Amino acid sequence: MSGNFRYFKGSAVLTVVGLLVGAGLGFSATGTMTGALRYAFIIGVLSVLEVSLSFDNAVVNAKVLAGMPPVWRQRFITWGIAIAVFGMRILFPLVIVSIIGKLGPIDAVDLAVNRPEEYQRVLESAHISLSAFGGAFLAMVGLKHFLDSEKDVHWIAIVEKPLAALGRVDAVQLGVVLLVIYGVSLQLPEHESMVFIVAGIFGLLTYIAVDGIGAFLDPESVAGAATAKAGLASFLYLEVLDASFSFDGVIGAFALSNNLFVIAIGLGVGAMFVRSLTIMLVDKGTLTEYRYLEHGAFYAILSLAVIMFLKTFMEIPELVTGLLGAGFIGIALLSSLSYNKAHKDDPKEDEEAEPPATT
């Protein structure tokens, strides 16, 4: 246990600092200890929300990181957390408000600090676009894993074997996601339908661009300095993936607070724990040790994509989103433990067992 805790020391320190800063913000805003404790409590809940929504993200991150050059792995751990906390949890919502509200950057910050209710309203008005973009990107990520004709390790075989066979059809996942985008758009009012379709198409184009860069700069097909470019491609992929996951958390956070700084601290602490978990998974080779853990993560990603689409025309509590993802991960872990127990005395099986399919 102590060996694992070393991965989370930085996250634990940041949690303490975040709670203290949150308490200070609460005391400054209300002038009471009750207000200070309330702000600190909200930050703690937001941190848990972020971890629950992004646990599957950690598993996928670990899969990509395991194949990255060490220097880019370290850059993701350091630069990546700065981008995740400052860029996606603070700067990105301000940019969205600035664009939607046709405000300058300074005015957007002023709105967030001095008129948080209006800031919340403007940001939430963009939920159609954000859900379409993020849902399309995550759907492509999840489907690529299952619609792989070379995938021969299956967790839920009755579902995954037909999908793997379907993967022989070129660009099938693109066609599936386009059909879903069109189907969801039919459920929306006319003035929101085209917005949803356009944002969804941009989500697809972003995935194609990032995936194409990664394929073009695959370190297995190039040598020398180009390996660094491949590391950059993987870094960009992980950052876009993190952005897609963060949409839901940033919007959902307003159910607890509309204070920009409280939200940023809470989600930032949670993002730090996700990074720490990712590093632990890579160092310990957990994805190799637990055969179906990666599968559970991709089921969770697909479920989040579906939820993001559905939330454009129906209410779905954040608790459902978090529990669904955690449920897939937990059941996959239990299945992996059961598999390991059943085959621990069969060295031939262990020797011939295929590693989890790549993304």
pLDDT at 144 (0 to 100): 86
pLDDT band, very low/low/confident/very high, at 359 (cuts 50, 70, 90): very low
* Phi and psi torsions of 189, nearest 5°: -60, 155
**pLDDT, tens only, 88-115:** 777 878 888 888 878 888 888 888 888 8
**Considering the entire predicted model, what is its pTM?**
0.75
Chain mean position to CA 4? 23
Q: Which residues contact 1 (CB under 8 A, 6 or more apart)?
A: none
Burial of 313 (0-12, 13-18, 19+ CB in 10 A): middle
pLDDT at 170: 82
Q: What is the pLDDT of residue 357?
A: 43
Q: How far apart are CA 24 and CA 26, in angstroms?
A: 5
Q: What is the mean pLDDT of the chain?
A: 80
pLDDT per position as a tens digit, 73-89 = 778 777 877 777 777 77
Exposure of 33 in the CB half-sphere (CA atoms within 13 A): 0
Q: Return the amino acid letter for 82.
A: A
d(CA 233, CA 312): 31
